[in-house]
């Protein structure tokens, strides 16, 4: 997305103050927390494919507002649209992929394929940055904005052409079950089913550690990387993360905690070194972390039995947003050491949520009693 690496600059060039920009980010976060689970239930009740497509359209609408009516009100409305669009995609992607594989009796491939999806998302930062670099001098923020609108609409069109797989472990949508029943079922499974509940909590904590990425540039500057070279210096970190995600399918679940702890120790060594070359160690940490994250999310998908798969995944997403506040607060108090201690604690609790055997299958929590089997 060409606009993504530049939207903060768009705000400042429009004349927004730091307080106004912070307010926009806060609004974006609130929309994500509030909308995550309800939109997950929409994907479960109606269509994961439609959720993905509408999510792209809403994000395009947000960028359209930013491009044609730049100002605080339009930016706020755009963040609301983008936030809702993001929640429509979150959870629906994992649910769509898992059920597509389940329909082909290939659930065991989820970790490998989901890792490749994650890798593509990270690698996309490179052409996005290049596009932003090329488009901005040619047509300013307007051209960058219109290119981003077109990109979102193109993604929405591709999503609309995806097949809608049958729901794994449940009847097809449209069987008379309502939206509220679907929402209740997903939340109930996430918070009351022991095997699922533990995985939801652990995956939420694990995913929240990705917030450390926001500080890579800060660390590079602290480690004496010249300002003009910071963007290039940290570019290898997401690429390393992409490599880690791509090979995550080879990582055994029992290795998650040791691998993440090893990554934390490597990152700590880089922090002690505090030298530009330490960014190579940070890249290694990020590769290990992204591999662990992919496998953890795959274990969560394996434990979900009901049809409200996107809703359960969205509950974990809300937990990620809330746990992310703990990470940001830790960094604000004590910087990198506090964040690494938090990451080490997450690594130690991984076996508690993901190490047990998969939860036993039972009746679908939202399937009517007459439809359950014995």
Q: Where are the chain's structural domains? A: 4-169+177-354
Q: ∠ CA 137-142-143 to the nearest 5 degrees?
A: 60
Mean pLDDT value across residues 274-289 = 96
Q: Give the pTM.
A: 0.86
Q: In 10 A of CB 8, how many CB atoms?
A: 13
DSSP string, 7-40: HHHHHHHHT--HHHHHHHHHHHHHHHHHHHHHHH
Residue 363: pLDDT band with limits 50, 70, 90: very low
Give the pLDDT mean for 278-287. Answer: 97
pLDDT above 90: residue 22 = no
pLDDT at 169: 52
pLDDT above 70 covers what percent of the chain?
92
Taking the mean position of all CA atoms in its chain, how far away is CA 201? 15
Spatial separation of the C-alpha atoms in residues 226 and 319, rounded to whole Å: 36
What average pLDDT is seen over the chain? 89
Q: Measuring CA to CA, which residue among 29, 19, 22 is closest to residue 324?
A: 29
Which one-letter DSSP state was computed for residue 355? S
The predicted pLDDT at position 177 comes to 65
Query: Could you give the CA distance from residue 153 to residue 202 in angstroms, rounded to a whole number?
Result: 34
Distance CA 349, CA 343 (A): 10
**Res. 347 pLDDT band, cuts 50 70 90:** very high
Q: Is residue 117 within 8 Å of residue 35, measured between CB atoms?
A: no
Confidence grade of residue 171 (pLDDT, cut at 50, 70, 90): very low
Specify whether the CB–CB gap between 165 and 173 falls below 8 A. no
pLDDT grade, residue 271 (50/70/90)?
very high
- Mean pLDDT of the region 222-241: 88
Mean pLDDT, residues 253-257? 92
Angle of CA points 350, 356, 360, to nearest 5°:
135
Count of positions (residues) in the chain: 374
**Nearest-angstrom CA–CA distance, 278 and 309:** 40
On the question of pLDDT at 168 being above 80, the answer is no
pLDDT at 366 over 80: no
For residue 359, is pLDDT > 60?
no
| Span 4-169+177-354 CATH architecture | Up-down Bundle (1.20)
Asked if 67 and 149 touch (Cβ cutoff 8 Å), the reply is yes
**Cβ atoms 93, 113 nearer than 8 A:** no
Q: How sure is the predictor about 160, in pLDDT bands with cuts at 50, 70 and 90?
A: very high
355 pLDDT above the threshold of 90? no
Query: How confident is the model at residue 4, as a pLDDT?
Result: 84
Calculate what percentage of the chain has a pLDDT beyond 90: 67
Q: Compute the 3-state secondary structure of the chain and give helix, strand, coil in percent, each to the nearest 5.
A: 80, 0, 20
Is residue 46 helix, strand or coil?
Answer: coil
For 104, phi and psi rounded to 5 degrees?
Answer: -100, 10
Query: Sign of the C-alpha dihedral, residues 266, 299, 351, 212?
Result: positive
**For residues 339 and 331, is the Cβ–Cβ distance under 8 A?**
yes
What separation, in Å, do the N-terminal and C-terminal C-alpha atoms of the chain show? 50
């Amino acid at each position: 997305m060409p606009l993504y690496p530049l939207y903060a600059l768009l705000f400042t060039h429009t004349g927004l103050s730091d307080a106004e920009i912070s307010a926009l980010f806060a609004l974006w976060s609130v929309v994500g927390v509030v909308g995550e689970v309800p939109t997950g239930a929409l994907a479960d009740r109606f269509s994961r494919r439609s959720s993905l497509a509408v999510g792209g359209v809403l994000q395009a609408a947000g960028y359209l507002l930013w491009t044609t009516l730049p100002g605080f009100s339009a930016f706020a409305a755009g963040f609301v649209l983008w936030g809702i669009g993001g929640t429509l995609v979150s959870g629906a992607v994992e649910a769509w992929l898992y059920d597509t594989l389940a329909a082909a009796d290939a659930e065991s491939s989820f970790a490998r394929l989901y890792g490749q999806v994650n890798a593509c998302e990270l690698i996309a930062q490179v052409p996005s940055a290049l596009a932003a670099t090329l488009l901005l001098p040619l047509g300013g923020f307007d051209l960058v904005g219109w290119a981003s609108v077109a990109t979102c609409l193109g993604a929405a069109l591709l999503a609309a052409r995806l097949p809608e797989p049958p729901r794994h472990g449940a009847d097809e949508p449209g069987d008379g079950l309502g939206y509220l029943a679907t929402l209740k079922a997903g939340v109930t499974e996430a918070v009351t089913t022991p095997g699922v509940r533990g995985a939801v909590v652990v995956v939420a904590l694990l995913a929240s550690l990705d917030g450390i990425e926001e500080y890579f540039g800060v660390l590079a500057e602290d480690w004496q990387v010249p300002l003009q070279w910071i963007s290039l210096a940290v570019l290898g970190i997401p690429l390393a993360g992409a490599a880690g995600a791509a090979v995550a399918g080879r990582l055994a679940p029992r290795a998650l905690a040791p691998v993440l702890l090893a990554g934390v120790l490597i990152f700590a060594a880089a922090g002690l070194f505090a030298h530009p070359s330490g960014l190579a160690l940070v890249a290694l940490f990020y590769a290990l972390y992204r591999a662990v994250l992919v496998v953890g999310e795959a274990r969560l998908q394996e434990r979900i039995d009901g049809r409200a798969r996107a809703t359960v995944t969205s509950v974990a997403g809300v937990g990620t947003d809330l746990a992310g506040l703990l990470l940001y607060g830790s960094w604000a108090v004590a910087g990198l050491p506090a964040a690494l201690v938090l990451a080490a604690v997450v690594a130690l609790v991984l076996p508690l949520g993901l190490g047990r055997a998969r939860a036993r299958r039972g009746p679908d929590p939202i399937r009517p009693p007459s439809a359950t089997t014995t």
